Amino acid sequence: MNANSPHARDIAYLVHQQTDLATYQQEGGVLMAKGDGVYVTDEHGRRYLEAMAGLWCASLGFSEKRLADAAYKQLLELPYYHTFFAKGHLPSVDLAEQLIRLAPVPMSKVLFQCSGSEANDTAIKLVWYYHNAIGKPEKRKIIGRVRGYHGNTVASVSVSGQPHMVADFNLPLPGFFHTENPNYYRFSEPGESEADFATRMAQALEDLILREGPETVGAFFAEPVQGGGGAITPPETYWEKIQAVLRKYDVLFVADEVICGFGRTGHMWGCQTYNLKPDMISCAKALSAAYQPISALLIGEKVHQAMLDESRKLGIFGHGYTYGAHPVACAVALETLAIYAERDIVGHVQRVSPAFLNGLAALESHPLVGNARGVGLIAGVELMADKASRTPFDPKQKVGVLVQDKCLEQGLIVRAIGDRIAFTPPLIITEAQIGEMLGMFHAGLDAAWAALQGA
Ligand SMILES: Cc1ncc(COP(=O)(O)O)c(C=O)c1O
């Protein structure tokens, strides 16, 4: 390899995130050079259909000029200002107002950060702040779910339930606990209905709260549809039963809408799809169609009142980020929301979703596919060694990665999460492009199956 080639310099200088670094030193990876609608092109000119919208985020695809124009205009007008020390700027005010108007349940205030991780990190701090303010400082334990994903800061990865992201980082922090994973297909008992499984999941949460002591449990964090866990949709009645437990023990509920927010599930919010009533909502990704790093934490009145009380007591709300509410990111997010409304993106998702979900479900007849489920434009496909007995592959076989690689050879980017293949294409995907995506996926599955038979 030429030492000056992009690949050689990449290997020489860059640390890739969520990557096997030792293998990367030998093999390198793919460098993207251009975007065009739902497609991206690498620096060798190879084009791929991006069925993950990058990291579940490029909702308007990879070439929306209006967002570039919005950024440029704001860069010329006011390229930077902050919201510290009683100062601010109009784009952040406009965006906060819009988010409060759009919120799925009444929310009082918006606090901006640069990433989903920071939004959840902030929410964890506010759970502690709130309970200190109301005189219950011992109510500080935080519950997430096995295989939940809420980010990679020290606290947000602690509430996530991703073993490989805490291993040898001396995490999770003390005081973080995880309740069961609601993957009905994988973890239901033979003959157990979805409703019975959901009852068992809610019971497991209640048992955990009782074991830890309800007076010590401050909050529960969850994604309406679990993304990083493998695009896992909740079983029937799950959310009503989980929320009843949270209400019973006065546990705050933080809905992580970082993936689900802004149309992904066929409604503006996952909270609307599943009738969730959270105390706080974190969102990011599709908030700016991923063209700028920005996240928002929507804060309900109960928590906001506590923030006011603490601020009166301490003289300051002692929290903030230099780039939180960055005006360029706010301007891009405002334009993103305008495009969603003008193009009826939520309606579009509802219209194309049946082609997406039915097309994937039809692949359950493929010898590798045990189950394919989703909602709106998010879905997970579970690969199985033996479908009849629901026996998974040996993880050492890395069958998920094999399918992911075979799809890449077809020109399709999907994501293997263990042996689940996740799909979250840009929300602008057309029915014809869904057909193309399914065709490439089928070919990728066939190629993986052939490789396994030959092995
Ligand atoms: C549900 C969820 N929450 C939080 C995050 C973290 O967001 P970020 O990577 O912007 O910090 C992610 C990232 O994928 C996510 O899927």
Evaluated on CA atoms 429, 431, 432, 437, the torsion sign reads positive
256 lines ligand 1 (CB under 6 A): yes
Report pLDDT digits (tens) over 248-293. Answer: 999 999 999 999 999 999 999 999 999 999 999 999 999 999 999 9
Specify the CATH number of the domain 68-342: 3.40.640.10
User: Are 383 and 368 spatial neighbours (Cβ–Cβ below 8 Å)?
Assistant: yes
Residue 14, amino acid: L
- Of 293, 428, 284, 434, the C-alpha closest to 361 is 434
CA 433 vs CA 125, 144, 328, 430: distances in Å: 42, 36, 31, 5
Give the β-pairing of 109-113 and 141-145: unpaired
284 lines ligand 1 (CB under 6 A): yes
Q: How far apart are the first and last CA of the chain?
A: 30
189 secondary structure, DSSP code = P
The helix or strand, by DSSP H or E, that contains position 106, with its residue range, turns out to be none
Residue 26, amino acid: Q
The pLDDT, as a whole number, for residue 3 is 85
- Where exactly does CATH 3.40.640.10 map onto the chain? 68-342
Averaged pLDDT score across all residues of the chain: 97
pTM, full prediction: 0.98
Report pLDDT digits (tens) over 16-68. Answer: 999 999 999 999 999 999 999 999 999 999 999 999 999 999 999 999 999 99
User: How many whole angstroms from 150 Cα to the centroid of ligand 1?
Assistant: 5
For 146, other C-beta atoms within 10 Å of its C-beta total 17
Beta bridge partners of 252: 219
378 lines ligand 1 (CB under 6 A): no
For the cut 90, the answer to whether the pLDDT of residue 367 exceeds it is: yes
227 lines ligand 1 (CB under 6 A): yes
User: How many whole angstroms from 290 Cα to the centroid of ligand 1?
Assistant: 12
CATH superfamily name and code, 31-63+344-454: Aspartate Aminotransferase, domain 1 (3.90.1150.10)
% pLDDT > 70, the chain: 100
- Where exactly does CATH 3.90.1150.10 map onto the chain? 31-63+344-454
Q: Give every CB contact of residue 349 below 8 A, 6+ residues apart in sequence.
A: 263, 264, 266, 376, 377, 427
| pLDDT bucket at 149, cuts 50 / 70 / 90 | very high
Q: How many CA atoms lie within 13 A of 409 on its CB side?
A: 12
Report pLDDT digits (tens) over 308-341. Answer: 999 999 999 999 999 999 999 999 999 999 999 9
The pLDDT, as a whole number, for residue 227 is 97
User: Are 337 and 98 spatial neighbours (Cβ–Cβ below 8 Å)?
Assistant: yes
